[in-house]
């Protein structure tokens, strides 16, 4: 019984808490800018408002544009079932679920991009092109980082990998953990359209990546997109926190508490990063991603040296 | 023994060939000619499928030996699990493309179609014979017929100069490949005193240097046919030149006969050294990455698909390399996952690449252009084509829940298994596979979102794309069948992998029982993958319902696309394929060397500008052209020998023969 509740609580927490992350990031940024900032629960309000609105579809669009948000949200919901919180087993896990998760992200990307192209807008085309470029470059980094940690723990599923990160393992493999975490944070910033790769708050369509791809979405469709991106941020932060913070050994509930706290802290860190550095020139973004790949390769070197 | 299956097979092959002959005979009556040819191809292929499926599922061997008077030659055909697997791919795709072709060929008005039907049927029957030949001489004869038949299909539209050029490139490439194979068979024959394949397999103690030479020769010879970098230069020329259903067949299965050759040679050479695995993996990784990069830079839809064949052949070769590493290190699971991933990817690639080429053919025949940048918005009028093309595109990117994901999943799992052993050799090859497969995946996604988005979505970019009409049902049904097969393998992968057990067992040289016991946990995992896929569909259905509920009380309105306040948006302002791919193309400009011609804007109010970009084949410009230039210079000195009439050349051949005989008798 306890086992089932442990497993079920993880995706439920993700569903409930993920929109909070945007609020935390925005409040952190507001704090650094000396502003009061929007309410912490602004994303919840936005979602509530959006689902009660009608939709405007562009006359250029077809079924792809209407299917995109639904496929995206479904895929990310499926992914949350694989993401363990607090070093326990997730709802579903099996050897090699890493690949399924990464390729479900690819499914999301595929449909986000073609939904953007479905509008025929040059701005959305521009965003789609950049999304395709940056994510193609992050994929090897993410794969190699996860390969390094899988190699270190000797496990092939996300759940078992994170379960294996005990404090003992953490101490003996600190170099690997740090390099993998460094890769993951860069991938997190890139994949979730944060500064220094993308600025979610900019007001010039020309400079956006992710926001510009959903310019034409509205109503419940846009609510699905916002919720999906909140969940995506949650998934990446949970993964990052799970790798960086070891199992402290007091059982599941304390671990879960620490993990959720860590996820919230990571969003504060993202807010700090966004406040402290400017967005990179687009031409330099690939260099930034190459750094992630370098970290991942270094992690791999350290694993194999052991 | 019973020759029952093999006889059915031979009757099938004969039917296909006979259909071709009949269509030649009826060349004056176009409809009849197409009908008999297609009927022959379809009925013969269905007949041929029976023994193929039987052997694939039950294992064992069926063979027929008839002695020939040609020295070392014999009509020796044998269907084992490996042949059966390739026969399955060949016949399935042949049925599909033959039906499609029967309608597609009618696009070529004022052209004699009987020739195309005849060579198409010859191509099918020769491919089928290639994978069952168990004698070197017979193999080479069928191999040559296959090459020649496909050459005539590539040059079907020989009134165009670029088509003739593509044909010449293909003819030269394939014959250089065959030259290597000839040497390889002679070496194998010298070691075993026979050209029968079972004798090759019996030489257990080949000196390792000789085995390596044979392996390299087979890699070059078969690799040229398969399209491994840098021997791939004929692919991007030949595939766009050929009619689309021929491109589908050539790309889907003909190039796989090269992979078949490599696999067959590997079964002759037991105990492969580790560096063979390394070589296969590196060649595969390079082919994969180079293939997808060049695909990204193309504007011609069929040329782009041709480069993707290079990419997928790369993935297959990496899988084979992983399998070889597995055999060498004694890791059965690695061998099974590597070879299993490779052969499943062969089948998958035949399905989705066939589908994509047929879809491209449908687009080309509707719009009359292969230029992606001229198209746009085709999805509205060509719904079935666009949906099936989308399924093919998602599948080729290796995205779940379709079939491409499953084979890549096997190769990924294999390499992660290699990695966690922490043996340096295994880990190193695994890292190469993981890194390059991930990069290929990301780039392929960029490439196919580009193709699908620019061709089928948005607004028409030129008059070609306006008022297009959906193709006829005869062309659409084959595409629907292929799309359904892609979905089936994706959703029921644990069943599919069990069908391939015998084939994997034979390639890896591991007993079927051991393979079964090793595959059991794997198919349990694949069941969970299928379960996840069904969860995905359930979630989609639920969300669709929820959205419908939400919108039932609200207003759904239609408006123009948000144009950021610009007053006069125009379809030509949309992003094009070239602009979509430009950031990635520029990131990899070191390799791609794209040529750009721009006219700089001079005045404050520029009236006209110009931009042109093209990405020619780098290995052709920087590798083969210099080599051929040197050869040309050297051989140019022998010009005086050439009289220019064919009788003289035959005389030369006869003189050489006499000289050789005298030399041997002396």
Please list the pLDDT of chain A residue by residue as tens digits (306 residues).
467 888 889 999 999 999 999 999 999 999 999 998 899 999 999 999 999 999 999 988 999 999 999 999 999 999 999 999 888 889 999 999 999 999 999 999 999 999 999 998 888 899 999 999 999 999 999 999 999 999 999 999 999 999 999 889 999 999 999 999 999 999 999 999 888 888 877 767 677 888 888 888 999 999 999 999 999 999 999 999 999 999 888 888 888 999 999 999 999 999 999 999 988 888 899 999 999 999 999 999 998 886
What number of residues does chain B have? 666
The residues, any chain, with a CB within 8 Å of residue B54's CB and separated by 6 or more, are B5, B84
Q: At what angle do helices B256-268 and B332-367 cross, to 10 degrees?
A: 160
d(CA B426, CA B429): 5
Distance from CA of A303 to the nearest CA of B (A): 8
- Report CA-CA distances (Å) from B190 to A231, B180, B218, B446: 65, 15, 16, 49
- Report CA-CA distances (Å) from A126 to A136, A137, B377, B582: 16, 17, 18, 10
Exposure pattern of B152-184 as b/e (b: 16+ CB <10 Å)? bbbbbbeeeeebeebbebbbebbeebbebbeeb
Distance from CA of A160 to the nearest CA of B (A): 14
Dihedral pair phi/psi, residue B610, rounded to 5°:
-145, 140
In SS3 terms, chain A reads as: CHHHHHHHHHHHHHHHHHHHHHHHHHHHHHHHHCCCCCCCCHHHHHHHHHHCCCEEEECCCCHHHHHHHHHHHHHHHHHHCCCCCCCCCCCCCCCCHHHHHHHHHHHHHHHHHHHHHCCCCHHHHHHHHHHHHHHHHHHHHHHHHHHHHHHHHCCCCHHHHHHHCEHHHHHHCHHHHHHHHHHHHHHHHHHCCCCCCCCCCCCCHHHCCHHHHCCCCCHHHHHHHHHHHHHHHHHHHHHHHHHHCCECCCCHHHHHHHHHHHHHHHHHHHHHHHHHCCCCCHHHHHHHHHHHHHHHHHHHHHHHHC
Tell me the domain boundaries of chain B.
575-612, 618-665
A-chain residues near B573 (CB < 8 A): 122
The residue assigned the tokens 């990817």 is: B345
The residues, any chain, with a CB within 8 Å of residue B568's CB and separated by 6 or more, are none
- Quickly list H helices, B397-492: 403-420, 424-456, 473-491
Give B553: exposed, middle or buried? Use CB within 10 Å, 0-12, 13-18, 19+: exposed
Pair B430, B415: CB distance under 8 Å: yes
Tokens of B6: 């093999």
Amino acid A1: pLDDT: 44
* Per-run averaged pLDDT (10 residues), chain B, 666 residues: 78 95 90 92 95 90 86 88 95 96 88 90 96 93 95 92 93 94 92 86 75 93 93 92 94 95 91 92 96 93 95 96 92 93 96 96 92 91 95 95 94 92 86 94 95 93 88 94 96 92 91 90 93 95 94 88 73 87 90 84 78 84 89 88 86 94 87
Pair B277, B262: CB distance under 8 Å: no
Look at residue B135 and give its three-state secondary structure: strand
What is the count of structural domains for chain A?
1
B-chain residues near A157 (CB < 8 A): none
Q: Comparing C-alpha atoms, which of B193, B207, B507, B181 is closest to residue B327?
A: B507
Distance from CA of A109 to the nearest CA of B (A): 8
Amino acid B194: pLDDT: 86
Pair B134, B206: CB distance under 8 Å: no
Residues 152-181 of A with CB under 8 A from B: 154-156
Q: Comparing C-alpha atoms, which of A129, A195, A166, A259 is closest to residue B445?
A: A129
Amino acid B5: pLDDT: 83
Q: Which helix (H) or strand (E) holds B321?
A: helix B301-329
> Among all residues of chain B, which has the CA nearest to that of A286?
B587
Give the mutation candidate from B400, B437, B563, B576 for the A interface (greatest A CB count, under 10 A).
Answer: B400
Number of C-beta neighbours around residue B122 at 10 A:
21
d(CA A237, CA B635): 66
B-chain residues near A114 (CB < 8 A): 390, 449, 452-453, 457
Residues 362-381 of B with CB under 8 A from A: 376-377, 379-380
A136–B446 C-beta distance less than 8 A: yes
CB nearest B453 (choices: A54, A97, A117): A117
d(CA B430, CA B422): 10
Amino acid B567: pLDDT: 64
d(CA B109, CA A77): 52
- Report CA-CA distances (Å) from B304 to A226, B360, B600: 35, 10, 29
Distance from CA of B203 to the nearest CA of A (A): 39
CB nearest B439 (choices: A100, A140, A300): A140
Task: Please give the ipTM for the structure prediction.
Answer: 0.95
CB pairs under 8 A between A and B: 249
Give the mutation candidate from A48, A51, A55, A60 for the B interface (greatest B CB count, under 10 A).
Answer: A60
Longest dimension (CA), chain A: 59
Give the mutation candidate from A50, A97, A125, A149 for the B interface (greatest B CB count, under 10 A).
Answer: A125
Tokens of B567: 């007053």
Q: Comparing C-alpha atoms, which of B105, B227, B226, B98 is closest to residue B156?
A: B105
User: What letter does residue B554 receive in the DSSP assignment?
Assistant: S
Give B548: exposed, middle or buried? Use CB within 10 Å, 0-12, 13-18, 19+: exposed
Give A259: exposed, middle or buried? Use CB within 10 Å, 0-12, 13-18, 19+: buried
B587–A286 C-beta distance less than 8 A: yes
CB nearest A133 (choices: B405, B528, B583): B583
Instruction: List B66's β-bridge partners, or say none.
Output: B75
Look at residue B133 and give its three-state secondary structure: strand
B449–A132 C-beta distance less than 8 A: yes
Pair B15, B47: CB distance under 8 Å: yes
Dihedral pair phi/psi, residue A58, rounded to 5°:
-70, 145
B582 inside 8 A of chain A by CB: yes
> Among all residues of chain B, which has the CA nearest to that of A144?
B435
Pair B308, B396: CB distance under 8 Å: yes
The residues, any chain, with a CB within 8 Å of residue B350's CB and separated by 6 or more, are B89, B92, B93, B252, B253, B256
Dihedral angle over CA of B493, B306, B357, B507, nearest 10: -30
Residues 507-526 of B with CB under 8 A from A: 521, 524-525
Exposure pattern of B495-524 as b/e (b: 16+ CB <10 Å)? ebbbebbbbbbbbbebeeeebeebbeebbe
Amino acid B206: pLDDT: 67
- Report CA-CA distances (Å) from B275 to A64, B416, B429, B506, B528: 47, 20, 10, 22, 35
A113–B561 C-beta distance less than 8 A: no
Residues 77-116 of A with CB under 8 A from B: 77-78, 81, 92, 94-100, 102-104, 106-107, 109-110, 113-114, 116
B539–A156 C-beta distance less than 8 A: no
d(CA B652, CA B636): 18
Range of the domain at A169: 2-305
Tokens of B257: 């006969």
Tokens of B176: 């250089």
Give the mutation candidate from A50, A96, A145, A305 for the B interface (greatest B CB count, under 10 A).
Answer: A96
d(CA B409, CA B437): 10
- Report CA-CA distances (Å) from B184 to B174, B221, B297, B546: 15, 9, 36, 64
Pair B533, B400: CB distance under 8 Å: yes
Exposure pattern of B622-636 as b/e (b: 16+ CB <10 Å)? eebeeeeeeeeeeee
Residues 237-266 of A with CB under 8 A from B: none
A130–B438 C-beta distance less than 8 A: no
CB nearest B561 (choices: A64, A77, A119): A119
The residues, any chain, with a CB within 8 Å of residue B474's CB and separated by 6 or more, are B99, B100, B102, B103
A81–B574 C-beta distance less than 8 A: no
Q: Which helix (H) or strand (E) holds B115?
A: helix B114-132
Q: Comparing C-alpha atoms, which of B63, B551, B260 is closest to residue A66?
A: B551
CB nearest A75 (choices: B435, B454, B536): B536
Residues 416-435 of B with CB under 8 A from A: 416-417, 419-420, 422, 424, 427, 430-431, 434-435
């Amino acid at each position: 019984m306890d086992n089932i509740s442990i497993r079920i609580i993880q995706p439920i927490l993700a569903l409930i808490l993920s929109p909070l992350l945007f609020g935390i990031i925005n409040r952190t940024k507001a704090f650094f800018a000396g502003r009061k900032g929007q309410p912490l629960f602004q994303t919840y309000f936005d979602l509530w408002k959006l689902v009660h609105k009608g939709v405007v579809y562009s006359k250029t669009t077809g079924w792809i544009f209407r299917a995109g948000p639904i496929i995206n949200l479904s895929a990310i919901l499926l992914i949350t079932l694989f993401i363990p919180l607090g070093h326990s087993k997730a709802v579903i896990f099996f050897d090699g679920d890493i690949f399924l998760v990464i390729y479900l992200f690819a499914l999301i990307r595929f449909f986000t991009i073609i939904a953007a192209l479905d509008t025929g807008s040059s701005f959305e085309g521009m965003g789609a092109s950049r999304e395709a470029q940056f994510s193609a470059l992050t994929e090897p980094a993410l794969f190699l980082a996860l390969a390094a940690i899988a190699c270190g723990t000797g496990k092939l599923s996300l759940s078992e990998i994170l379960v294996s990160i005990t404090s003992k393992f953490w101490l003996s493999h600190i170099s690997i953990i740090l390099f993998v975490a460094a890769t993951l944070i860069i991938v997190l910033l890139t994949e979730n359209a944060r500064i220094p790769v993308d600025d979610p708050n900019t007001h010039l369509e020309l400079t956006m990546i992710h926001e510009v791809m959903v310019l034409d979405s509205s109503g419940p469709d846009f609510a699905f997109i916002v919720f999906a991106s909140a969940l995506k941020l949650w998934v990446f932060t949970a993964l990052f926190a799970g790798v960086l913070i070891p199992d402290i050994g007091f059982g599941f509930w304390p671990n879960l508490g620490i993990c959720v706290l860590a996820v919230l802290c990571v969003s504060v860190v993202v807010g700090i990063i966004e406040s402290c550095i400017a967005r990179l020139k687009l031409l330099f973004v690939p260099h930034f991603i190459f750094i992630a790949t370098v970290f991942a390769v270094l992690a791999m070197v350290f694993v194999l040296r052991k | 023994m019973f020759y029952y299956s093999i006889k059915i097979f031979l009757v099938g092959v004969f039917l296909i060939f006979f259909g071709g002959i009949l269509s030649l005979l009826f060349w004056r009556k176009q409809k009849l000619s197409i009908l008999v040819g297609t009927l022959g191809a379809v009925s013969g292929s269905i007949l041929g499928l029976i023994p193929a499926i039987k052997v694939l599922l039950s294992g064992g061997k069926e063979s027929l030996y008839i002695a020939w008077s040609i020295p070392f030659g014999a009509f020796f055909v044998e269907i084992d699990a490996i042949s059966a697997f390739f026969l399955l791919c060949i016949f399935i795709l042949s049925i599909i493309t033959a039906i499609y072709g029967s309608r597609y060929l009618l696009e070529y008005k004022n052209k004699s179609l009987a020739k195309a039907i005849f060579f198409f049927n010859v191509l099918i029957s020769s491919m089928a014979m290639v994978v069952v030949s168990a004698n070197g001489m017979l193999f080479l004869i069928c191999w040559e017929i296959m090459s020649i038949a496909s050459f005539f299909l590539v040059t079907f539209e020989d009134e165009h100069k670029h088509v003739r050029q593509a044909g010449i490139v293909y003819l030269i490439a394939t014959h250089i490949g065959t030259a290597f194979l000839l040497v390889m068979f002679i070496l194998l024959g010298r070691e075993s005193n026979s050209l029968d394949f079972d004798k090759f397999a019996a030489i257990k103690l080949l000196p390792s240097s000789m085995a390596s030479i044979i392996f390299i020769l087979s890699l070059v010879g078969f690799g040229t046919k398969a399209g491994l970098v840098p021997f791939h230069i004929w692919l991007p020329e030949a595939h766009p030149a050929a009619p689309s259903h021929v491109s589908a067949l050539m790309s889907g299965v003909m190039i796989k006969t090269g992979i078949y050759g490599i696999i067959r040679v590997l079964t002759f050479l037991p105990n492969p050294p580790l560096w063979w695995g390394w070589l296969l993996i590196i060649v595969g990784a390079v082919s994969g990455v180079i293939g997808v990069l060049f695909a990204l830079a193309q504007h011609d839809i069929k040329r782009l698909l041709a480069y993707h064949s290079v990419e997928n052949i790369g993935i297959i070769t990496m899988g084979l390399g992983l399998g070889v590493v597995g055999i060498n290190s004694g890791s059965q699971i690695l061998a099974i996952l590597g070879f299993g991933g490779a052969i499943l990817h062969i089948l998958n690639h035949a399905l989705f690449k066939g589908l994509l080429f047929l879809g491209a053919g449908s687009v080309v025949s509707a719009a009359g252009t292969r230029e992606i940048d001229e198209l746009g918005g085709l999805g509205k009028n060509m719904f079935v084509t666009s949906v099936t093309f989308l399924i093919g595109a998602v599948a080729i990117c290796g995205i779940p829940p379709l079939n491409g994901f499953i084979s890549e999943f096997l190769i990924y799992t294999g390499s992660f298994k290699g990695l966690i052993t922490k043996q340096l050799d295994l880990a190193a090859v695994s890292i190469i596979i993981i890194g390059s497969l991930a990069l290929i995946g990301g780039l392929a996604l960029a490439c196919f979102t580009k193709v699908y988005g620019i061709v089928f979505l948005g607004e028409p970019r030129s008059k070609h794309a306006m008022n297009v009409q959906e193709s006829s049902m005869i062309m659409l049904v084959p595409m629907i069948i292929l799309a359904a097969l892609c979905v089936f393998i994706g959703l029921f992968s644990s069943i599919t992998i069990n069908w391939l057990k015998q084939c994997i067992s034979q390639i890896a040289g591991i007993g079927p029982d051991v393979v079964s016991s090793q595959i059991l946990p794997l198919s349990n995992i694949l069941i969970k993958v299928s379960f996840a896929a069904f969860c995905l569909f359930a979630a989609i259905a639920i969300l669709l319902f929820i959205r419908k509920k939400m919108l039932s009380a609200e207003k759904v309105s239609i408006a123009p696309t948000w144009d950021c306040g610009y007053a006069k948006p125009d379809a030509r302002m949309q992003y094009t394929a070239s602009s979509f791919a430009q950031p990635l193309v520029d990131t990899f400009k070191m390799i791609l060397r794209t040529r750009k011609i721009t006219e700089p804007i001079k005045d404050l109010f520029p009236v006209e500008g110009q931009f042109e970009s093209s990405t020619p084949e780098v290995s052709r410009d920087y590798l083969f052209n210099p080599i051929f230039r040197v050869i040309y210079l050297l051989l140019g000195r022998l010009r005086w020998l050439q009289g220019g009439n064919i009788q003289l050349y035959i005389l030369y051949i006869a003189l050489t023969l006499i000289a050789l005989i005298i030399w041997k008798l002396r």
